[in-house]
Chains A and B, each alone.
Chain A
Amino acid sequence: MDRRFPSVLPALRLVLLPALCSFPAATSLSAQAETGRIVGKVVEAEGGAPLSGARVVVVGTTLATTTKVDGRYALADVPVGSVTVRVAMIGYGSKTVTGVVVTAGGVTTQDVSLAGQTTQLEELTVTARVEQGTVNSALDNQRYSVAIVNAISSEQMSRSPDGDAAAALQRMSGATIQDGKYLNMRGLGDRYTQASLNGARIPSPEPERRVVPLDLFPSSLLSEITTSKTFTPDQAGDFSGGSVDIKTKEFSGTRYFGMSFSAGFNTAITGKEAIFAPATGRDWIAFGSSPRALPNPVAAVDFSTPLTTAQNNELVNSFRNVWSARQRSGSPNGGFGLTLGGNLPVGGTGLSYLISGSYSYTQETRKDEQRAIAQPPGTVGGEVRELDRFDGSTGRSSALWGGIGNFSVNIGAHTKLSLNNTYNRTMDNEGRFEHGTSENLAIPLQIQRLRYVERNIYSSQMKVHQQLTDRHYLDFGLTASGVRRKEPDRSEIVYESSGATPTWYGFSNEAAVRTFANLKESTLEGSASWQFRFGSTPGNRFVQIGALYRATDRDAENHAYSISLARQLSAAEGALQPEQIFDGRFSQGSDNVLRVSPLSAGGSYTGRDRLTAAYGMLTLELSHALELIAGARVERSDVRVASRSTAGEPSLATPSYTDVLPSLALNFRVGENVNLRLSGTQTLSRPEYRELSPILFREVIGGDNVKGNPDLQRALIRNLDLRWEWYPRGGEVVSVGIFAKQFSDPIERIYQGTSGTRIITYVNARGADNYGVELEFRHGLDMLAKGLTPFTLFANATIMKSKIRLDADVGSITNAERKMVGQAPYVFNAGLTWKHPNASASATLLFNRVGERITEAGELPLPDIVERPRNVLDASIAFPVFGALNARMDAKNLLDAPYRLMQGVVIRDGYRSGRVFSIGFSWKQ
């Protein structure tokens, strides 16, 4: 099975390459006249807002045009050669850009920024090359946003080895990434972070939470990731740590075609023997769930009455007879991507389009994997002791593919219509083998687990931006999105290994288990906002009102079945391989050897959420140096969660939350390039669906029993932020910020002790505080020595503290006062970039370290479980090969520091993942 992928990739190359390579030839047919086109965008120098109605003239010709609502312009039939372009607009200083090179039949992009007349009185003349820098600076989201934001541009992503949005986000100040997917901002759990795609909420494919795994988004499809750390009323109010917006690429102005290939290897896997799960033929395209679907006889059988022998045998035989993880040689990683952008000459600025797709296949491992549970010290002041230690390894094959199709068109001079479509699909196929000793049973065991997870996400969005008059703007949009997660046919089988030959330990709920989970969530979101600019000069004086309605529906299903023995097997029978035991030899006719029983599922539920929000917001530039943003948002959420225990007991929770979320921000322009920002806001955090269902549910076989709480209140969070920021030059920043957060009724995961298995549930804690300092630095090293001009250093650090206080009467068996789960005392990122002054060669070294943080509160008297800091070093080199062909080399996890979850001195979970090296080529035209 594993051979299939490598055999397909070359086949694809053969098909795709000639087709793609013929493309430039086809387009060059249009290059007939001795003229070319100039296209571009005119933006405000402060904040990068598009300016519509600006006059663009090719000096010395009659060629002229006016920018459309999105600031874009297009000038056709411009004579070839170096021309001068002049841009003028009432209220703004005019600008003349020299040296714009037009080639025959070519398209030249020239963006221009205009400053308000209060700051620029005289007309400026600049070269085309210099002008691009000022535009970049104007587009610096971080600098001009009314809220405190951090942004990662596609350029930054392209200089790092970060293949997806989650990996890219770990470079952001205050960000930590859990399990390679989930974002925690400022040490707050994923509950306090929300994610959107092009401004619309992304549905979540996780059954237990409403978080979005950000590894779903390949970075090659992204133009920018922005994290807003403070709330403004035009944003959704259910976050506190950060609100991430992932923007997919948009047409940049020039016709564009690019493709890339990469291949790599992991030092721990490639060419080495490692444990992997058997694959099906369609895993490599992430369509492996159907061969793993719940067998029909199992789905159809009525478990409310005892099964007959014949039924038991039929069910046993209907399961896919795959149980064992296999040792085999790892294969190299690989991927490719294609991007096609262009502008069809429809109307004035034409129909812009960008179509992009990517595919990657990787193998990862967790070698030297170990896990154990911790036991309190047996003596006063003693050390925590290790129990149930298991050693083993895990191998995972993953495929990630997806694409975007983004289109935009200006209709008349005042309306821009855009259509953004995204589809991504992932697959993770994981096999695990481990051996250890069970303290409970006092015998050594061998456990094999196979797990396949498939996720897909789609989003289709229509957005309209309309300029009603030169002061009134209307925006509205409609987004339909959905997500699906399938975890079919997860299996676990336990062998007892006290004798010479391991034998199946067939008497238990956990002897042989198959689990089938399925989750679907879909969201329809409609929003509209109206903005009115007032005052006599351009600048930020406007009133904005808006409304949003979002309907979310979720359907989560979980079914687990255990196969156990009805009689003892002989020594020879027990020593058979799992695939022999379940090949039918014990499940024919009247054989009464194996029994199938459904395990309490309880994980099935349906959730729906109807969110209505409205806001009003005033942005007032009180003076050139002081800007006030004030407003409030009202959100009402009507939630309905219906669930049913395996035994058929129904439950329904229908909470409704209505809240007013005020926000006030003051931005001082202390100096030309220095801002001081102050923000005070209130935000909230609502319970996730599963947290409201009072049915006890076993998360994972052998895992914890989890139960929701239908009486949960939403948490209110008061946020205070102060940040000083200095922008020495375009692309450079030095900032210092402090933040403080106070939580009322924060929702916290707690444990309740029982005479058997503990129960995990959720309660509103009495309160919590979180405060910290954030430092960010991004500066060229030419400040130290002229010779260091090509180097840029960036670093960010967040130092924080938190405390959560639980009420005694919730019956939690954890510390009643402790740090919040997930909060690290510090997060540190640093990077050094070298960029060739003229060529496009660059090199980047990236470092990341996260302080020791609680991953799970400890059951008293045990200490909390913490994740130990790891030093992570990545490097990336990009250089041109010839012509439009560029190459890059990436090295990830160079230090291969072990991952460690510790509870006192006991390693609860630990492994190494190996170093990954890859090389890639990209070509664009």
Chain B
Amino acid sequence: MMLGVGKRTLAGLLVGTVALAACKSDDPAAPSNNPPTGVTATSLGATSVHLAWTAAASVTGYILERAEGSTGGSYVEVNRPAATATSYDDTGLNPATVYRYRLAAVRTAGTSPFATEVLVTTSAPAVVNITADITTNTTWTSTSVYKIVGFRKVANNSTLTIEAGTRIIGDFATVGSSLFVLRGSRIIANGTATAPIVFTSAQAEGAQLPGDWGGLIIIGNGIINRSGTVNIEGTGTSTENPLIPYSGGNNNADNSGTLRYVRVEWAGFAPATDAELNSFTFAAVGSGTTLDFLQAVNGFDDAFEFFGGAVDAKHLVSYETGDDHFDMSEGYVGRLQYLIGFQSYIQNNRPGVGGVSSDPQGIENDGCNGSGCDLAFNSTPFTVPVVANFTLVGPGAAGPAGGGFGMVLRRGTAGHYVNGIWARYLNAGIGYRDADTKARETAGILTIRNNLIAQTPLALQAGQQAYDIGANAVILEQATTAASLFTKLPTTVRASPGVAGTTAADFDWSLSAASPARTGGLATFTGDLLTRAGAFVAGTAYRGAADPAAAKWWEGWTYYLRNQL
């Protein structure tokens, strides 16, 4: 419902305050029990509507019903106004939403037919500018839109609670505007499938571009494998954007709050060359944090990046991004299940924030890299995530020539990568890079098992480390197309300039009837995988992010617009 606010608001202004008389009457043949007349509906604001009517003769009361949307939906009774009433204020509505109301008169003889329905659009929510850091417990409600102006922090051990359906926009004019939840502070953003919480660009729909604003950065008290002070990339670029450190944490069970049904769109601004912000950054975030049903849409850098920490997550969707869909490093030991990543084009980003990445991948995991890696790629704790049930579809020849791997494991990372699908990657399914990474396999903390690689020339990048894909049920099906694996993928991978972007109707991630991914999964975990997966991730007989036997978890709250300029 967050879609198309602009258009609908315009429509509401035109029709909402005027009772329409052009609709058909329910029962014109009953003159003795006429419907009420002069019914009008006026928006009182973002969440309430004022209804008024002409007092009807010999009534004992009225029945007021409401339906959502300009057509369809079902009417529900709102109120039974008294006989003397000639108006009613309906409250608790959604902002910028079209409602239809109808009124009937109740007489002793019976209830009249409903009067012609009236349409009204609630006002767009008020925009609240967030120009200062949040240092006390604060709640953002869905009746307002919150505009993040500048590099704003939730700090001072405070909690920011965001109601379902709330829309947060990153200011475009104040470059790099972004929201940081600092160590010790929390964010409670509990959206729902029907009312997700959306962080998006302040630009008008259609004019949004990757990199319009910064992103959502959460810093916990978890452990990373780099010593010394390490700061969030993209901070420290100006006085207004000081360095934000995330190193030095000591509690991988730390709780930074909850994100459920949250989308982050058009993020990834680069405050300096090669210093981009991600859509979602989880830096040293602990396992006490809840992450479920999150989508990154058209960010300019990585969609989901995990630096150390141990936070678990399920149901993550990355729809088009500038760099990697999923990036884990610096000792991250969390578990991820049900991941979708989709890429079909080379982004055109907000001007002035640099060019596209030289190596975008589906998953890019590093052990340790940068300052304070005291034993280089062997720095501990190792990066050992469990990544299960992923569906990653690359851009194939429509993407950059660089990158083009379903997954790159390098710089001493470990982890278990199981029951997933990599499809339509330009170069190979897996880039298995260096000897230190290979050593993790020998140590039993790195496995790649029961994965399907489709429409991709190679299983493993040539000239790099070897991996026994046969013994691990990693299947390469070069001829199987990505489109054939799923119920629905857009037919045109890359929209031409001017061609309208895709919508949710173009995507159905559930496995097609003939999909080889319906089987071949690792149903029973053992060994280190079992130990690490624990109760959070279980084995499945299928591969990919969609359980053929379960509801489509991505439906209703995910978003697929792409502004191809």
Contact B227 A378 (CB under 8 A): no
Instruction: Digitize B181-200: 1 where CB-to-A-CB distance is under 8 Å, 0 elsewhere.
Output: 00000000000000000000
In the complex the two chains form, is B376's CB within 8 Å of A507's CB? no
- Inter-chain pairs besides A505-B358, A505-B401, A757-B233, 15 sampled, C-beta below 8 Å: A303-B351, A306-B350, A376-B373, A379-B378, A507-B358, A597-B349, A651-B238, A707-B236, A751-B371, A753-B226, A753-B229, A753-B372, A755-B370, A811-B229, A860-B227
Interface pair A511/B355, CB less than 8 Å apart? yes
Q: Is A209 an interface residue (CB 8 A)?
A: no
Among A439, A562, A645, A651, max chain B CB count under 10 A is at A645
**A758 nearest CB neighbor, chain B only:** B371
What is the CA–CA distance of A574 and B402 in the complex, to the nearest angstrom?
Answer: 13
Q: CA separation between A756 and B434, bound complex, in Å?
A: 20
Whole-angstrom distance from the CB of B415 to the nearest CB of chain A?
Answer: 18
Min CB–CB distance A36 → chain B (angstroms): 70
In the bound complex, what is the Cα–Cα distance between A496 and B427 (angstroms)? Answer: 14
Q: How far does the alpha carbon of A813 sit from the alpha carbon of B357 in the complex, in Å? A: 27
Among B213-267, those with CB < 8 Å from A are: 226-240, 243, 245-247
Q: In the complex, A307 Cα to B403 Cα: how many Å?
A: 25
Asked if residues A307 and B272 are in contact (CB atoms below 8 Å), the reply is no
How far apart sit A208 and B275, CA to CA, in the bound complex (Å)?
A: 21
Q: Do the beta carbons of A860 and B436 come within 8 Å of each other?
A: no
| Interface assignment of A582: CB less than 8 Å from any CB of chain B | no
Given contacts A651-B239, A753-B226, A811-B245, contact A376 B352 (CB under 8 A): no
The answer to whether B283 touches A755, judged by C-beta atoms less than 8 angstroms apart, is: yes
* Docked-complex contact A752 and B270, CB < 8 angstroms: no
Task: Return chain B residues, CB-CB under 8 Å to A375.
Answer: 376-377
Q: Determine if A566 and B346 form an interchain contact, defined as CB atoms under 8 angstroms apart.
A: yes
A555-603 with Cβ < 8 A to chain B: 560, 562, 564-569, 574, 592, 595, 597-600, 602
The complex places the Cα of A884 from the Cα of B175 at a distance, in Å, of 70
Cβ of A378 and Cβ of B377 under 8 Å apart? yes
Which 6 pairs of residues, A with B, have the shortest CB-CB distance? A756-B233, A508-B358, A507-B400, A753-B371, A696-B237, A647-B175
A752-B243 CB under 8 A given contacts A378-B436, A441-B359, A647-B176: yes
Q: A648-687: which have CB < 8 Å to B?
A: 648-649, 651
Per the bound structure, the CA–CA distance linking A592 and B564 in Å amounts to 12
**Residues of A contacting B228 in the complex (Cβ-Cβ under 8 angstroms):** 753, 811, 813, 860
**Which residues of chain B have C-beta atoms less than 8 A from A859's C-beta?**
371
- Partner pick for A597 among B239, B276, B330, B351, CB 8 A cutoff: B351
Enumerate chain A residues within 8 angstroms of B355, measured Cβ to Cβ: 507-509, 511, 562, 564, 595, 597, 599
Interface membership of B497, Cβ < 8 A: yes
Known: A306-B209, A754-B230. A508 touches B357 (CB 8 A): yes
Contacts A303-B352, A306-B209 known; A755 to B230 CB distance under 8 Å? yes
Q: Which residues of A contact B270 (CB under 8 A)?
A: 600
Are the C-beta atoms of A649 and B354 separated by less than 8 Å?
no
Q: Is B565 an interface residue (CB 8 A)?
A: yes
Question: In the assembled complex, which residues on chain B have CB atoms less than 8 Å from the CB atom of A707?
Answer: 236-237
Alpha-carbon distance A511/B270, docked complex (angstroms)? 18
In the assembled complex, 23 residue pairs joining A and B whose CB atoms fall closer than 8 Å, in A order, are A304-B352, A306-B351, A375-B376, A376-B376, A378-B377, A508-B357, A562-B354, A597-B351, A600-B272, A645-B238, A645-B272, A705-B272, A705-B273, A707-B236, A753-B230, A753-B372, A754-B236, A755-B283, A757-B274, A811-B229, A860-B228, A861-B227, A861-B374
B376's partner among A307, A378, A648, A651 (CB-CB below 8 A) is A378
Give A599 to B273 CA distance when docked, in angstroms.
6
Shortest C-beta distance, B228 to chain A (Å), equals 5
Beta-carbon contacts under 8 Å, B305-348 to A: 305, 307, 330, 346, 348
Q: Which A residues, 11 to 36, have Cβ-Cβ distances below 8 Å to chain B? A: none
The digit string for A192-215, where 1 denotes a CB below 8 A from any CB of B, is 000000000000000000000000
Whether B372 and A860, one on each chain, are in contact in the complex, defined by CB atoms closer than 8 angstroms, is yes
Q: A306-B351, A756-B275, A813-B229 are in contact. Are A860 and B239 (CB under 8 A)?
A: no
User: Digit string of A488-510 for contact with B (CB within 8 Å is 1, else 0)?
Assistant: 00000000101000000111111
Q: Which residues of B contact A696 (CB under 8 A)?
A: 236-238, 271-272, 275
Question: What is B's interface to A at a CB cutoff of 8 Å?
Answer: 175-176, 209, 226-240, 243, 245-247, 270-276, 283, 305, 307, 330, 346, 348-359, 370-378, 397-403, 410, 412, 431, 433-434, 436, 461, 463-464, 497, 565
| Residues of the A chain whose Cβ atoms lie less than 8 Å from the Cβ of B373 | 376, 861
With A385-B376, A651-B239 as given contacts, are A705 and B371 in contact (CB-CB < 8 Å)?
A: no
What's the dominant secondary structure at chain A's contact region? loop
Measured CB to CB, the closest approach of chain B to A743, in angstroms, equals: 24
Pick from B359, B375, B402, B565: contact of A380, CB below 8 A. B375
A440 in the interface (beta carbon within 8 A): yes
Question: For window 712-763 of chain A, which residues contact chain B by CB distance below 8 Å?
Answer: 751-759, 761
Q: B-facing mask of A367-389, CB < 8 A → 1, else 0?
A: 00000000111111000010000
Task: Tell whether, in the assembled complex, residue B401 and residue A568 are in contact, meaning their CB atoms are under 8 Å apart.
Answer: yes
Determine how close the nearest CB of chain B comes to the CB of A871; give it in whole angstroms. Answer: 34
Query: Once the chains bind, are A752 and B229 in contact (CB under 8 Å)?
Result: yes
Q: Smallest CB-CB separation from B356: which chain A residue?
A: A507
Q: Is A309 close to B, CB under 8 A?
A: yes
Q: Is A695 at the interface (CB under 8 A from chain B)?
A: yes
CA distance A254 to B270 in the complex (A): 66
> Min CB distance, A692 to chain B, in Å?
11
Residues A836-881 near B (CB distance < 8 A): 859-861
Q: Which residue of B lies closest to A309 (CB)?
A: B497
> Are B358 and A441 in contact (CB-based, < 8 A)?
yes
Q: How far is the CB of A508 from chain B (nearest CB, A)?
A: 3
Judging by beta carbons under 8 Å apart, are A698 and B273 in contact? Answer: yes
B402 touches A441 (CB 8 A): yes
Contact A646 B243 (CB under 8 A): no
752-776 of chain A: CB within 8 A of chain B: 752-759, 761
Known contacts A510-B358, A597-B351, A568 near B397 by CB under 8 Å: yes
Q: Report the separation of the CA atoms of residues A606 and B348 in the bound assembly, to the nearest whole angstrom.
A: 32
Q: Could you tell me if A598 and B352 are in contact, using CB atoms closer than 8 angstroms?
A: yes
Residue A710 lies at the interface, judged by CB distance under 8 Å to chain B:
yes
**Interface assignment of A442: CB less than 8 Å from any CB of chain B:** yes
Counting CB contacts under 8 A, is A290 at the interface? no
A755 touches B352 (CB 8 A): no
Q: Are A755 and B358 in contact (CB under 8 A)?
A: no
Is the beta-carbon distance between B402 and A378 smaller than 8 angstroms?
no
**Separation in Å of the A201 CB from the closest CB of chain B?**
30
Given contacts A705-B273, A813-B371, contact A597 B352 (CB under 8 A): yes
Contact of A649 among B235, B238, B283, B375 (CB under 8 A): B238
- Complex Cα distance, B269 from A648, in Å, reads 14
A701 to B245, alpha carbons, bound, how many Å?
Answer: 25
A305 beta carbon closer than 8 Å to chain B: yes
Q: Provided the pairs A595-B355, A811-B243 are in contact, do residues A755 and B229 lie with their beta carbons within 8 angstroms?
A: no
Asked if residues B565 and A306 are in contact (CB atoms below 8 Å), the reply is yes
Nearest opposing residue in chain A for B375, CB measure: A378
